[in-house]
Amino acid sequence: MGPEAIDWGYAISTLIIRYVGIFVVLGILQIVMQITGRIFAYLDAKEEMKKVLTQEEAAAVAMALYLYERKT
């Protein structure tokens, strides 16, 4: 049997397609992750806005800050 010929055009083209495909998939994943990250950040910020200090909590924080400043 003789030596088999390698189709280098086919081999190189498949490698290029795989190389480009990896970056396309990674790009899509990055876009999806950025969108979901912004959605979760928005929901977290919205939840943080709902938290309001009561008068007792605000007084305790104010007293702690006053005592801390007085100590230094």
* d(C-alpha 30, C-alpha 38), whole Å: 12
- Please give the C-alpha separations between residue 65 and each of 15, 46, 51, 57, 59, in angstroms, as whole numbers: 63, 27, 20, 12, 10
pLDDT of residue 31: 98
* Residue 66 structural domain: 10-71
- pLDDT, residue 54, reads 84
Q: Looking at the domain assignment, is residue 4 inside a domain? A: no
Q: Is residue 26 part of a domain?
A: yes
14 in any annotated domain: yes
Structure tokens at 60: 């305790």
Instruction: State yes or no: pLDDT of 61 exceeds 70.
Output: yes
| Arithmetic mean of pLDDT over the chain | 90
With CA atoms as reference, report the closest residue to 48 among 36, 37, 40: 40
Count up the domains in the chain and report the number.
Answer: 1
> Does residue 14 surpass a pLDDT of 90?
yes
Instruction: Please report whether residue 58 resides in a domain.
Output: yes
Q: Is residue 3 part of a domain?
A: no
Residue 2 lies in a domain: no
Residue 21 pLDDT class (50, 70, 90 cuts): very high
Greater confidence, 72 or 50?
50
Q: What is the model's pTM? A: 0.55
